[in-house]
Structure 1
Amino acid sequence: MHNTTPTRRALTTLAVAAAVALGATGTAVAAPQAPAAHAATTTASTTAGTYTLHSIADLAAQRLATADLVAAAKFGTSSPIDDPAREQQVLDAVAAQAEQLGADPDAVRKVFRDQIEANKLVQRGLFQRWTDHPDQAPTSRPDLSVVRVEINRINTELVKALAATTADRSGYVCYPELYISAAQVRHERHLDRLHTEALFRALPSVCES
């Protein structure tokens, strides 16, 4: 286990520097898209089954894209952003998948806890934005059950990627490589400030597995 406190501080500094260098200074939030649009953006390396640290960063970004849809489905309803029962279902499912693939289920759970918190960070940011600017609020409500199908697909791919990159994630070189990959993904996917912040929030436990 690495000494995570100074490491996370260093990575936070690196994340901010990388985001600024790549121009992640905008605040615009794109309108929620259908899940199929996100599914179509899977990277070539992931599609081919060759997983890398870049694949993990990109899958994390894909998962964050679903937060826009979840937020749109919940905004203006009684459905809370925090959903402990659903979160536990996700954690149990990915741990079971990890065991089937010979990966450490506890390590995978830890990664997905970060993924869930990052997703909620986006939802809270969008809720605040739409509350402050009602004219920017979504005008349609996505079907949450359909969105969750897409989330489950990404979860499965991410577990596979974590299982396939155990060696890459076990060394100290993982940290710089992962966060360089995250900066590249931010640029490739044109992430705004909110989603860039969430992307880096989603990744700290990847290299602690």
Structure 2
Amino acid sequence: MPRFPRLPNCLACALFGLFAGGAQAIASPAPDALQPLLATMDQRLYLSELVALTKWDTGKPIQDSAREAQVIASARAQAAQRKLDPDEVTDLIAAQIEASKLVQYGRFAQWQAARKAPDTPRPDLNKEIRPKLDALQNQLLKQYAAFQPYRKDPNCPQWLATERSALIKDYLHGQAMIRATGELCIVGR
């Protein structure tokens, strides 16, 4: 029986991984449908910053159950029009709402520690911000429908991690993006 030279453990493991999982070692590129979807989620999180500012100024609570129920009901109605599963759309939109609240609570905590919020213009919540959020929801569902065929792809989590990392601005935003995208890949379900 021929003897092979002994390789250092880390090199042996790397070579084994390369040859044993050859096809899995090289992930396919992300589908074109992913980046616009993530960009829309990112825009939504930017608007969450503005929502936080208006709530800070008015003393309104971050939790707004009535508005959340309205947004989810609207999304469920749009799901039927787009031939999407209403329960999956509910999960997606609920994740967006939770990500938004994560940003709002995080910014409130920062501003409370600093004893002031940033001195930036505050658009009107009902007249300017919410109509933009509603338009983004329509866009988000359209993009989600385009991404639907890729959700069960084994590469989905890697695509998501790579594309999402390019959008992250700070720790809070990163955590919110992780939550916002938590329902996109359904590998193994």
TM superposition score normalised by structure 1: 0.69
Q: Give the one of 125, 130, 144 matched to 1:148.
A: 130
Q: Deviations over 1:27-66 (max 9, x none)?
A: xxxxxxxxxxxxxxxxxxxxxxx96112221111110000
The worse-fitting range, judged by mean Cα deviation, of 50-59 and 74-83 is: 50-59
Q: Give the one of 87, 96, 112 matched to 2:93.
A: 112
Q: Deviations over 1:99-136 (max 9, x none)?
A: 10111111011011111001000001111111111344
Give SS of 2:167's match: helix
Larger Rg: 2
CA distance in structure 2 between the partners assigned to 1:111 and 1:129 by the alignment:
27
| Structure 2 residues not aligned, in runs of 5+ | 1-30
CA distance in structure 2 between the partners assigned to 1:89 and 1:135 by the alignment:
31
CA contact (8 A) 1:66 1:151 kept: yes
Map residues 1-209 of structure 1 onto 2, 5 A cutoff.
Answer: 52-138=33-119, 140-145=121-126, 146-186=128-168, 191-208=169-186
CA contact (8 A) 1:98 1:163 kept: no
CA contact (8 A) 2:53 2:117 kept: no
What is the Cα-based RMSD across aligned positions, in Å?
1.9
What count of residue pairs does the alignment treat as equivalent? Answer: 156
Percent of paired sites with the same residue: 36
CA contact (8 A) 2:33 2:143 kept: yes
How many Å apart are 1:171 and its aligned residue? 2.1
Give SS of 1:207's match: coil
**Which portions of structure 1, spanning 4 or more consecutive aligned residues, are displaced by more than 6 angstroms?**
none
Which residue in 1 is equivalent to 2:28?
none
CA contact (8 A) 2:75 2:89 kept: yes
| Structure 1 residues not aligned, in runs of 5+ | 1-49
CA distance in structure 1 between the partners assigned to 2:146 and 2:160 by the alignment:
15
CA distance in structure 2 between the partners assigned to 1:150 and 1:126 by the alignment:
20
How many Å apart are 1:77 and its aligned residue? 2.9
Higher relative contact order (CA 8 A, sep 6+): 1
